[in-house]
């Protein structure tokens, strides 16, 4: 009898704990995405190449997102995300655990969301994650900003122009505020601290956005400004880089159409580039999707007035809601005298030795 009473007390305590958890709507979720495949590159420094690539049709990620309802419509939220190379199992160059995203904050439906940490700037949130950028469904990494613009010479950049329009841009040591929706509008602002003693303005960064969404239509604008000290942690000369862009999208039944205009300027050497891209994603049926995109990119005289056209095609077959097999191809045609370079290719032999470069790929992507 005594044993039964003890068991009954334990069950009562557990039921109270479970009820409290359900009421508070608190949760921690483990999630991720894995992509791998085989790519053919028509011209890398004058030679064709077959290679295994991962993280192309979406980055390889795993992470935790969590929330705790503390009452009054307010939630404590956090986000910890790691990006890794599937083929080697290693962190990406220059990264460590949770370099992709790491923040904590408060969210309230009436007052908005305030977060602190290492987090995406608004070139990502407003233009890329909103699906204004055709690259998010057509060629993904291969379809983002690169081109014959190595003379952009962006600081801390593996090619000088890798991801120059910040489709994966993040600001460390930052505070970020996003308003709640007011009618069809919302806005955001963030500030990154440089962390240099004696100079608040050294190495700092800022980003802003305005978003409009009504029904099937959306329009977004974003701006990001980052300063890079020439010597880390020291007051002195620094190079600043400015990005801004506008994008739009429209969902018409099974077809999503989008268009994007983005720019970059390296204030250190005066180099600048802009790109206009447009595309469409058609869900032919629940298990088949087709995507196509076109982009034109153009640089100023500092990057030798180089320009390029880029075309992308992708076909997806959905084995399930989580897993997709796909085929994609990207072709870039630069002006004569320029060396084409498709996004995602790095290293001393990454660019073509001429104006043409093509990548064809088959792969598998799954989410969890």
Structure confidence by residue, pLDDT tens digits, 190-233: 999 998 888 888 899 999 999 999 999 999 999 999 999 877 66
Q: Using DSSP bridges, classify how beta strands 170-178 and 255-266 pair: parallel, antiparallel or unpaired.
A: unpaired
| Residues 6 or more apart whose Cβ sits within 8 Å of residue 93 | 158
Collect the ranges in the chain with pLDDT lower than 70: 1-24, 232-234, 236
Q: Which residues of 11-41 are buried (b: 16+ CB within 10 A; e: fewer)?
A: eeeeeeeeeeeeeeeeeeeeeebbbbbebeb
Say what the pLDDT of residue 220 is.
98
Say what the pLDDT of residue 186 is.
97
Phi, psi (rounded to 5 degrees) for 92? -70, 155
Say what the pLDDT of residue 1 is.
41
- Tell me if 172 sits within 8 A of 192, measured CB to CB: yes
Say what the pLDDT of residue 145 is.
85
Say what the pLDDT of residue 229 is.
87
DSSP string, 20-80: HHHHHT-EEEEEEEEEEEEEEEEEETTEEEEEEEESSSS--EEEEEEEEEEETTEEEEEEE
Distance CA 112, CA 74 (A): 9
Distance CA 213, CA 129 (A): 14
CATH topology of domain 37-367: Porin (2.40.160)
pTM for the predicted model, two decimal places? 0.89
């Amino acid at each position: 009898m005594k044993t039964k009473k003890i068991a009954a007390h334990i069950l009562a305590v557990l039921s109270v704990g479970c009820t409290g958890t359900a009421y508070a709507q608190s949760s921690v979720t483990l999630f991720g995405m894995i992509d791998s495949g085989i790519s053919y590159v028509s011209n890398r420094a004058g030679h064709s190449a077959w290679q295994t690539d991962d993280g192309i049709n979406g980055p390889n990620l795993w992470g935790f997102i969590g929330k705790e309802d503390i009452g009054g419509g307010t939630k404590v939220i956090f986000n910890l995300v790691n990006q890794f190379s599937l083929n080697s199992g290693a962190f990406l160059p220059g990264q460590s655990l949770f370099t992709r995203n790491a923040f904590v904050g408060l969210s309230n439906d009436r007052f908005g969301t305030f977060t602190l940490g290492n987090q995406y700037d608004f070139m990502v949130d407003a233009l890329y994650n909103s699906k204004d950028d055709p690259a998010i469904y057509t060629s993904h990494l291969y379809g983002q900003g690169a081109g014959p613009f190595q003379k952009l010479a962006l600081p801390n950049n593996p090619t000088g122009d890798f991801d120059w329009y910040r489709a994966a841009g993040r600001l460390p040591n930052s505070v970020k505020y996003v308003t709640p929706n007011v009618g069809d509008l919302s806005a955001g602002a963030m500030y990154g601290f440089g962390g240099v003693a004696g100079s608040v303005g050294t190495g700092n960064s800022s980003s802003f956005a305005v978003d409009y969404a009504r029904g099937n239509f959306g329009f977004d604008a974003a701006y990001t400004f980052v300063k890079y000290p020439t010597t880390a942690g020291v007051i002195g000369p620094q190079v600043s880089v400015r990005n801004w862009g506008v994008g739009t999208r429209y969902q018409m039944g099974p077809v999503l159409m989008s268009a994007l205009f983005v720019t970059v300027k390296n204030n250190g050497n005066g180099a600048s580039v802009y790109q206009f891209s447009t595309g469409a994603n058609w869900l032919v049926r629940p298990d088949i999707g087709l995507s196509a995109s076109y982009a034109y990119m153009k640089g100023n005289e500092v990057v030798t007035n180089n320009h390029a056209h880029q075309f992308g095609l992708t076909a997806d077959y959905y084995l399930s809601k989580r897993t997709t097999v796909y085929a994609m191809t990207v072709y870039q045609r630069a002006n004569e005298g320029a060396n084409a370079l498709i996004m995602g290719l790095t290293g001393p032999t990454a660019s073509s030795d001429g104006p043409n470069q093509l990548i064809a790929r088959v792969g598998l992507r799954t989410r969890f």
